[in-house]
Amino acid sequence: MVRLWMAHTGIWMSLICMLCAEGRLFSQDERPLTTKLRSDFIVNDSALNFPNGAFGTCINGQTFQQEAVISFNGYQYAGYFADGGTLCVARRQLPNGPWNTLRFGDYRIAHTDVHNVVVIGVCRSDGTLHLSFDHHGSPLHYRRSVPGIALSPDAFAWGAECFGKTVSALEPGKPLHRVTYPQFLSTPRKTLQLLYRLGSSGNGDWHLAEYNPAENGWEQVGMVFSRAGKYKTSDSRCAYPNPIRYGSDSRLHVTWCWRERPQGGPYDLRTNHDLCYAYSDDFGRTWKNNAGEIIAVLGGGQEGVPESITIETPGIVVQRTRYLWGQMNTTTQFVDSRGRVHVINWQHQQDAGSASKDMNTWRYYHYWRDVSGKWHDNRLPFYGRKPQIVLDGAGNAYVVYCKGEELNYHGMDHGGQLRIAASREKTGWTDWKTVWASKRTFVGEPLVDPMRWNNEGTLSVYVQEKPEAPGAPSALYVLDFQMAME
């Protein structure tokens, strides 16, 4: 019997060795990560490009565009500007339905400012779609769909009659002015929130509003970030939040940098500094710092606690970065399945010999907060334009970005190759490998559909092809990727 057991054991060990040698048997932590392009859809083959612009030439695809593409209830929606400056929103039935575009003939843009993007949100309780568009220190431009269109999309013909007119107020009789960077986010309690800035670069405040159809629509929650306070020679500033996200436990996380207005200048990306963090467990009303201390209660109501976060708020800086050195604002943030917060900063190297506003000298840094609240950092072995990061349920990380030979995009967008890099949690996210690269050249910055990624594990990437000539229209894509292990 012993000899028989040993013989069987030998056979099984030989088989295991053969499979390992052929690369067909790995533990889950050892198998290489792979990415497969599952579908390649054109949303619009004539999307808008500018011939030149102070901040770039691609208005469809900027990291502050939260969200450009979202999914809900079996449909996907994308907002953009078509050639000629026409405001558009398109939808398709997942997974492979054709895109059907709704063009708003009553709204066109006639400028060359890539800040003025289209963002789209969905309220999951009443099925309304919300659009906000064309802002850079502007009056609010906002329009809302009829109720139910996202809950029963097949029951509605897709046309302009599905939406109301453009208005300048969330609440009747209370118009908003000098609006920039409106950002929609769906809440775990099925309402919709809007974070937006009032004021200018280096001199603005950020406000949070919430749409709840059960409570008569929009209401102001309060000011999240205030421009107030003193920092070196600067008496004013603004926060630049990364995409604000809820975790699976309903905790709301925000990371940001500050941009100063120092006396005498400069007034550029060198005045961005630090990585800051705060979170809320009551849907943005009460904010706590990294140590869990209450730092702000929006709207007041708690004695001795400020109503907003300022430069002087204690415990918010989780990574010091050098002032007047070189750092991009508004990159990417993701909350993984364990509630850990991940950020990719694109910044000038802290140990460089001098400051730099040349973005070709900057590099990517991965910062993450572990379950105990400790922050870690790691310089990545690749870099490009402003990236996106997502993580799957196993802790594998994916960074989506564009890389070209020239990364300075102000004035003219030279474009780059779309790439996806992947790394595993087991290595502390240090084994980065490129798992996909495009043959086409794209402009702007790739954006992802966070709702589809979280619900299905499909990575939908919104990105626009480089035009044949400056200012010519080009194709806007949503590329669907499936992540796996070999």
With respect to residue 29, please indicate whether it lies within any of the assigned structural domains: no
CATH number of residue 176's parent domain? 2.120.10
Give the residue-averaged pLDDT of 164-171.
Answer: 98
Q: How confident is the model over 274-289, as pLDDT tens digits?
A: 999 999 999 999 999 9
d(CA 414, CA 416): 7
Report helix, strand or coil for 361.
Answer: helix
With respect to residue 267, please indicate whether it lies within any of the assigned structural domains: yes
25 pLDDT exceeds 60? no
| Rg, Å, the chain Cα set | 23
Range of the domain at 100: 35-485
With respect to residue 4, please indicate whether it lies within any of the assigned structural domains: no
20 pLDDT exceeds 50? no
Closest to 343 measured CA to CA, from 244, 443, 270, 432: 244
User: What count of residues does the chain have?
Assistant: 486
> In this structure, are residues 127 and 152 in contact, taking their beta carbons and an 8 Å threshold?
yes
- What residue spans of 118-273 are helical by DSSP H? none
Number of structural domains (the chain) is 1
24 pLDDT exceeds 50? no
Token duo for residue 197: 């800035």
Give the residue-averaged pLDDT of 108-124.
Answer: 98
With respect to residue 6, please indicate whether it lies within any of the assigned structural domains: no
Q: What is the pLDDT of residue 88?
A: 98
128 pLDDT exceeds 90? yes
Query: What is the distance of C-alpha 379 from the center of its chain?
Result: 20
In the chain, what is the straight-line distance between the N-terminal and C-terminal CA atoms, in Å? 39
Strand (E) or helix (H) holding 456:
helix 450-456
Q: What is the pLDDT of residue 29?
A: 59
With respect to residue 70, please indicate whether it lies within any of the assigned structural domains: yes
Q: What is the pLDDT of residue 8?
A: 44
16 pLDDT exceeds 80? no
Token duo for residue 287: 């904010």
Q: Percent of the chain beyond pLDDT 90?
A: 92
* CA 110-115-117 angle, 5° bins: 75
* Confidence label for 17 from pLDDT (cuts 50, 70 and 90): very low
Q: What is the pLDDT of residue 486?
A: 63
Q: What is the pLDDT of residue 89?
A: 98
Q: Is the pTM of this model over 0.85?
A: yes
Give the residue-averaged pLDDT of 313-327.
Answer: 98
* C-alpha dihedral sign at 292, 295, 300, 303: positive
221 Cβ partners below 8 Å, 6+ apart? 193, 207, 208, 209, 210, 284, 285, 298, 299
With respect to residue 185, please indicate whether it lies within any of the assigned structural domains: yes
Q: What is the pLDDT of residue 483?
A: 93
Buried-state track 36-55, b at ≥16 Cβ within 10 A, e below 16: eeeeebebbeebbbbeebeb
Give the residue-averaged pLDDT of 190-216.
Answer: 97
Report helix, strand or coil for 109.
Answer: coil
With respect to residue 392, please indicate whether it lies within any of the assigned structural domains: yes
Residue 199, by phi and psi: left (phi above 0), alpha (psi -120 to 50) or beta? left
97 Cβ partners below 8 Å, 6+ apart? none
DSSP label of 21: H
With respect to residue 278, please indicate whether it lies within any of the assigned structural domains: yes
Q: How confident is the model over 334-376, as pLDDT tens digits?
A: 999 999 999 999 999 999 999 999 999 999 999 999 999 999 9
Report helix, strand or coil for 10.
Answer: helix
Q: How confident is the model over 29-81, as pLDDT tens digits?
A: 567 899 999 999 999 999 999 999 999 999 999 999 999 999 999 999 999 99
282 Cβ partners below 8 Å, 6+ apart? none
Give the residue-averaged pLDDT of 405-409.
Answer: 96
> Which residues on adjacent β-strands are paired with residue 130?
121, 144
